[in-house]
Every structure is written in structure tokens, then in C-alpha cells.
Structure 1
């Protein structure tokens, strides 16, 4: 039997004709695909719309004053920084090629740290420079000018900035509900072109501005570079004369002196522009150093001859400070030679340099006052030596000095006056430097005023009375009288044990004379402290330093630029 044939199949529905290879796609699908890929020149992708909206919002938060972006305040700086970050993000999202920035390779290491690669890296300070357009800047007291080309590029950047701002303002208005009539959202092409123009203007200005800034900074560092060069020359001369005193060598002495003078002059100039912690003096000369070296040699000779070290202790300490502060600066220049690029062109911002300049100025200022004036130095040495003797007589005085007790600074002017009254000719120049109105200067002699001379006469009368009261050998009696007055000055008015050894008939007279002298002494002590506080503070500080510092000054800490 034959099998029945299958039922006929239904005809399949007609299939859409396939496009021939190379045939154009429908316009709608092509546009959608380009939008998804972000390659449509007219249509924003969803991500682009979001990033541009965020950029426009960041622009609205900028602090504008007088039509210019304010970056000086913390709020203004932060708002500008966020806007620049959004600007970079928008350029990346829209796949815009950055302007070439190969010029950054030639930047110094400091600026390569700020601009480490070829990325846009928009910085607030660069924008700020283009806004302010300062053609002149002052660094370390010197005037530097930017070129006209740098100013032209700054203006071009500001024009691009303004054009982008106008587009973003239109964008913000188009997003708001109250869009003004006739205002349309900027097209993608407009925004792309504006972002590209801004980036090229930015790179152009950044290149010129930073390059000229680097040149200005190199010129601003020239004082340090010159000091390094002079220090290097001195070091070579010293190395060539190993084991010899270069200052005393006739062959190298003149050249060494000249180079030494140049280095000191360079340091003085550095001090005037960088040392804002003190006076910034530029009048300290090499003679201070030479006299300090000569003083140290005299101190060595005196000690070798067996003279008391206490008599020259103050002179040695002051001279050592002059030499060591200079050596510390030379050591700084040796260290900084390895890292000159780290030196801030505003020299006052270099903490290590300023610290050593402060020490140098203070030491050399004291050296100018005392080391270069032999009578003052001799007077100071005598006062320090006598105070040391007084400390042995009164151990409490030594403790007061070591503790820098307030009581010590009441005793110190009395001690200085006592020493002057005992030897007015030796100490007249020292007292005259603090109380010039109490002396008449004739050539190199100091004559006390009538009132001061009366005080001297009263002291001598009191001291003579005490010496006669104690009796015995005149020299020993005078020394006992001096020690009695010293004890009285240290202990104060409440204790008169020093006079208890006197015989009864003379005790009352001596006591009255001493008390009257102490009363006058207090008035003169106050005048010594208050007439010229700066000079007195310097003098008292040196005395305290000589009394409390036994060895060389402490070494500076780790190197700082």
C-alpha cells in the first residue's frame, strides 16, 4: 500500500532583503551608534552631557571679583581648583587631544615635580599669573620683568577662558527652567573647539611663563652661587697650603685675603636680603674675622705664658663665636652646592640659610663692638674674671647665674658699676658705650660727667673708710673692703654680716657709708639698664654667656636648605 503524501507546507513569510556589502546603513542607526561611541560631532553622549553639566556647575561656584577669578582666598582657590579638575575631566571624556607639552622636559627638577608628565595638569597658580599679568616682580630686593611675549600669551589665555565661560553660561541657562529666549545650548563642536583653544592657549602661556620664571629664579639664586664659588676658591687655597697658616703665608696671603673679603661681602649681601629675623646688616666686614683670629692667637699666647685663662676667657669666647659662625656658613655653602636647585629663590624662605645668617650677624655684631675695640674687650674680660671671683665668695651668685635667675640680672649691673668705680679708667669706655651722655670723649679718653665723678669720689671714700676700718696691709685691706662690698651687693640690704667683723666704734660709720653707697648704686644700676636697653641687653648677654658656657658652641643640627 502506498503511504499518504505529507500535507503541503505553508509558504514562509518574505524575508527582508539583506543590504549589499558596502551599502550605507540607515541614518538613524548610524547616528545612534556614533552617539554611543562618543564620535558624533554634533550630539553629546550621556556621559558628555553629565560631565559638561558638572563643569558648568563648577564654573558657577567660582569666586568672581571685579570680573576676575579670585584665587587668593581659601574658598576661591578651592573653587578654582575643582573647576580646573572638571575642565580636565571634560576634555578627557570628549576624547580631545592635549596640546603638546614636550617643553616640560627642559624644566628644572622643582618644576618637573609639579609637571611630571605631558598631561594637561591645569594649576591654579598658572591661571592666577595669567589673570594678574604682573609684568614686574621683586625677588630679594631686585626687580625682574617678564617679556612682552609672556604678557601677550597671558592675554590670549584669558580670551580663551572668557570664551569658554560664555559657552558654559549658555549651557547652564539652557539647563534651567527659565531659559532666555534666543539662548541655545552650545553645540558639541563649539564646546570642543573652545576646550581645544583653551588648552593650546594654556600650554603656550605655561611654557613661556615657567621658562621665564626659571630664568628669574636662577638670577635670584646668584648670591648663593657666588658665595659657593668663593668658598670653593678658599677651600682650594687652603688645600694647597696644608699645615700652613694661609693668612700668614706671604705667597698666598694676598690672594687668600682678597677671596676672603669677597666671600664676606657676599655673605653680608645675603644677610641683607634673607635675614628677616634680625637687622639684616650688610656693613659687617672681613676685618671682624681677621681681628677675631688675631685675638685667638693672643689668647693662646697668654695661656702658654702661664697667664690666667680666666683673664682671657671672655675674649676667647667672643672671638671663637666670630670664627665659628663664619665656618658654619662655609659649611652650609659646601653642602648646598650639591643641591642648589632646592634653594628657594626667595632666600628668606630657606630656614637653614637664615638660621646661620642670624647666628653670623649676632656673633659678628658683638665682634665688631668688642673684638675690634681692645679697651672694651679688656674691660669685659676683667668684669667676667671678677664676677667669677665673686661667685667663689658667694656660691649663691653662681647658682643664680646658671639658673638665669631674675635676681642675677639685678646683681649684674651693680657688679659692673662696682668694677667701674674701682677702676674707672679701665672701664670708662665700656660704660661710655652704654651711657654716652655720662662721659665727655676727648680723642680716645673718656671723662666722667660731674655727677658721675661725684659718685666715683663717694665710692673711693667709702672704700677707703672700709680699708682703714679693717686695717692691716693696705693691699689686703683694700681687697677685703672690695669683697665686703661685693658680698653686700649680692646678698642685698637685709644682711649685713659682711660688716660684723668691724670694731664697734667704726661699725656704725662704715655701715651708714655702705648703705648710702648702695642706695646711690641702685639708682645708677637702673639707669645702666634703661638708658639704652639694646646695648645693655647685648652686654649682659655676653657676660652671662661667658660665665655659663664652658666650651665651644654646640654644632648645628642636620643640614637644612
Structure 2
């Protein structure tokens, strides 16, 4: 028995790590445990019999006799280098990067989601982790000195001294579009850029696989002395990714800058012409000559207007994008502004034409200070688009109503008619001041009335030719109206009074019944019938060419 107790503990505790691998971290204090047990037994047996005490003493002697055979505290086994690495913050960084990789969002076509906010955030987080890995594990990353020649629009995206893996660059590599449309023109990327983009996208996918394999190897490996090998594999994977990133970013951004420079060429040309005009204006002032008579100056302005037309055709997304507006419009507008002193619709229009030209010139002077503030996709520049909208709107009307003498006369005639009526009737004046909706019926009704007197300058014939088609319903109404108007004139005491009575009815001014009966015989009073037909035709005048009519009326009332 004694031999058995002497051998058994040695067999059990000869190599504790074989029984439990974690035994190196555990300290055994058998002597303390026995002492504590003995003291506890002494307290609990204070009232025990002497025979029981003898038995306890016997047990104590037996335990003390074999105490040397029990295990003492085992020394902790030194950690291997791979175990030490698994406990380090560097490993936690690697682990976090692998987790971020698993959180990348894929679309249905197995591409990375870089359009949604969630997808962007996940990818940005992963790229930031890659940059931290490069820094912590001292991966040899290529210089970013090529970014110094980037335009300001690109340099602001990068931080000095950082790798700055941008999701926008990765997205471009992933999509791999062979061409780009800017301002309606097609620009092709070189094969070098497309190949570099494919390499970067492939490297991005491969890096994720490499990181997972390295992470799994570290978790499963137990052999000492492999940490250096694992870190070397990691840095090689990071360096390969960084090389492909630099190759693509450098080529891609440089070609983008070339495309952007070409896309801004109209702006650049406009800036050069504006500079020439300023020099000629300065010379003209110094010589005391009228610059508008200078042929060279007008030639510069003509070139500038052509450039505006080209820009308008690609950038004016809110208008028509017309490129057929010429310098003649501006010269005619300047002539009207010099000749006319009183405000009238055409002078107001002429002032708008000149102002829109001046605003665009000032905008080009602003762009000259820093051309890079101009978005190459010209329609994305709000200040430019706003200026072009006003330019096109005013110049288009100038071409229609200033250069065209017939329309010019129509505008002047209707404006004078409205002024005359407003001076005659205060109620109508108030309606004009507050832009009453009734004006849209009253004004064409007044024109129809003037057409009955053959004094409308052909306005109704132009806007509603159906009135003169006897086979058309509107033409039949017009024919009956003319007959009723003639009968009314014959039945009235005075043509002028009869016409004024119709004007008042059209304007909605109450008429004294006695005055009405004095002007026209009640038996032949057809005023209500005539006014109803006039209002019917006034609606037809507005509806035949609604867009053009609205522009015409807008100019007249401006």
C-alpha cells in the first residue's frame, strides 16, 4: 500500500500539461488546502470524544506522512510566439479587419454596394482598416507624391501623409466603364487605365481572401517561430494591394483631369474673350470714343455670344438650350435703351437682355480667378445655369419681339391700349396693379372688341386664325358677332357711346340702366349677347397658341 501511494502521485502529476493544457496557468496549493481542512475540523470537533480526537490525530499523522508525495505549485509554461501574438493588439486589429470584410454588402450582380449609404459606410470602414494594417505592420507602401500635381478639386479629397483609400476610386475600378460622357461628348479611357482598374478590383477581392487565410492560420497554428512568416505574408498581401491601388489612382485621376480640362474649354475660351473685351473697353474710354462703334470690339462680343450659345446648348437644363441667339439681339436692345426714356415693355425687355449679358461676363471674370471651381459637367454649376436661363429667356424674346418689326408693333399697340384703358377706368388700373386673374379674360376681350373696329393690328388674326375660317365653329361665332355688332351700332345713339358701353361690360363695371337705355333702344339692346360672344372668342384667342400668347402677354404687362 505504501509503495502504491508513493508511486501514484508521481504518475499523476509527473507532467500536468498532458492531463490539462491549461494546467500551466493554474497553481496548486495542496498544503494550504490540507491546513485549512485541519483547522476547520478542529473547530467543529471541540465537543467530540477523546476517541474521536485520537482518530483525527491518527489521520493527521497519516496525511503528514504522505504530504511530500502530493503536487506542489507547477511553474507556468512559457508562451510561444504565436500565442503571444494572439494576445496582442495587432492580432485584434487583424481580427477586426476580417470582421469588417465580412460586413461588406454585395449587390445582386455580386458587385460591392457603393451606392447606398450603408454600403458606402461598410466599404469605407474596411478601407480604413487596411490603411491601419499597413501602418501597424510596416507594409512598404508606395509614395503618394503624384498627388501633388492633382488639381485642387482632387487634392482636397486627400489628407497629407495618409494613404487615403477612397471608395470613389474603388467604385470606378469596379465599374470599369470604358468611356465617359461630359457635356454630351464621349471621352474614352485608355487601355492602361482599364487594365489597372481590373487589377485593383481583383486585388481588392484577393486581399480579403488572404486576410481570412492568415487570420485562420494564426488561430489554428501551434508551432513556434512562425510569426515572422505570417507577418511577411500579411505585408506582401498589403503591398500588392497598395501597388495596384497606386497604379490605378495615378492613371485614372490624370486622365480625368485631361477630360475635365477639355470639358471646360468653352469656359476657358469665354474667359479669354472677356479679357480682350475689357482691354478694348479700357482703350475706348481712354480715347473718348464710343466703344459700341468699334468693329473689333463687336467682333469680340460676337465670338463671346457664340461661346455662350455653345455653353447654353449643353448646360441649360432648365431651358431649351438654344445656340442660335446672335449679337444682333444685343445691339438692337442697346439701341432701344438709348432711344427710349419712358418705361415700356420693349425697353424693359431690352434692359433684361443687356443685364443678362453683363451678368454672364461678370461670371466669367469670377471663373478666371479659379477655373477649378467650375464643374466640368457644366450643367452642375448652379450660378452658370441660372445666368444661362435668364440669357436664353430674354434673348429669345428679344429675337421674337425686337428684331421682328411686326411683333414689335403688336407689343407697342397692345401696351398703349392697356395704358389708355387704365387711365380711363380706375377699376382696371387696380386690377393691373394687383395682377388680377380677370385680366386674362379682359385683355383678349378688349382685343376682340378692337378687332370689330378693325384696329387690333392683326393680333387676333395671328393668335387665332380660326376666327377667319367660315367653316370653323369659332369662325361662325365671329361672323355672327360682327353682324350683331353692326346692328347694335345702328340701334345706338352714338358709335362711341356704344363702344364705351361694351368696354364697361367687359371690365365688369356696373352700368346705370337709365344711361344704357339712353344709349341704345331697349327693343334692340343686344349688348349682353355681344359681350358673351366677345368673351367666348377671347378664350379662343388664348388657347390656339397658349405658350406664345402667354409670352406675348407677359412682355406687354412687364
- TM-score bucket (shorter structure): 0.7 to 0.9
Deviation at 1:335, TM superposition (A): 2.1
2: CA distance between counterparts of 1:504 and 1:431? 32
Deviation at 1:532, TM superposition (A): 2.4
For residue 287 of structure 1, the aligned residue among 328, 335, 338 is: 328
For residue 381 of structure 2, the aligned residue among 350, 353, 361 is: 350
Query: Where does 1:44-443 land on structure 2 (aligned, <5 Å)?
Result: 46-65=88-107, 66-170=109-213, 187-242=230-285, 243-248=288-293, 252-253=294-295, 255-300=296-341, 309=342, 313-424=344-455, 427-428=457-458, 430-438=459-467
8 Å contact kept, 1:299–1:315: no
1: CA distance between counterparts of 2:277 and 2:498? 55
1: CA distance between counterparts of 2:184 and 2:433? 43
Matched, 1:539 2:552: yes
Specify the SS of the correspondent of 1:501.
helix
TM-score by length of 2: 0.77
2: CA distance between counterparts of 1:298 and 1:155? 67
Specify the SS of the correspondent of 1:241.
helix
Deviation at 1:214, TM superposition (A): 1.1
RMSD between superposed Cα atoms in Å: 3.1
For residue 532 of structure 2, the aligned residue among 505, 513, 519 is: 519
Q: Deviations over 1:461-498 (max 9, x none)?
A: 267448x524xxxxxx63x5444332221116xx333x
More helix by share: 2
Specify the SS of the correspondent of 2:277.
helix
Structure of higher CA gyration radius: 2
Partner of residue 469, structure 1: 493
Partner of residue 506, structure 1: 520
Deviation at 1:71, TM superposition (A): 0.6
Deviation at 1:172, TM superposition (A): 6.5
Specify the SS of the correspondent of 1:91.
helix
* Residue ranges of structure 2 left out of the alignment (5+ in a row): 1-76, 221-228
Change (3 A) 1:297 1:500: farther
2: CA distance between counterparts of 1:47 and 1:393? 92
Specify the SS of the correspondent of 2:493.
helix
2: CA distance between counterparts of 1:85 and 1:384? 68
2: CA distance between counterparts of 1:83 and 1:355? 41
Change (3 A) 1:439 1:107: farther
* Residue ranges of structure 1 left out of the alignment (5+ in a row): 1-27, 37-42, 178-185, 301-308, 441-448, 471-476, 546-561
Deviation at 1:162, TM superposition (A): 2.1
Specify the SS of the correspondent of 2:143.
coil
Change (3 A) 1:240 1:31: farther
Partner of residue 528, structure 1: 541
8 Å contact kept, 2:305–2:327: yes
Change (3 A) 1:361 1:465: farther
Change (3 A) 1:366 1:235: same
TM-score by length of 1: 0.76
8 Å contact kept, 1:462–1:517: no
Provide the aligned length of Structure 1 versus Structure 2: 469
2: CA distance between counterparts of 1:238 and 1:509? 73
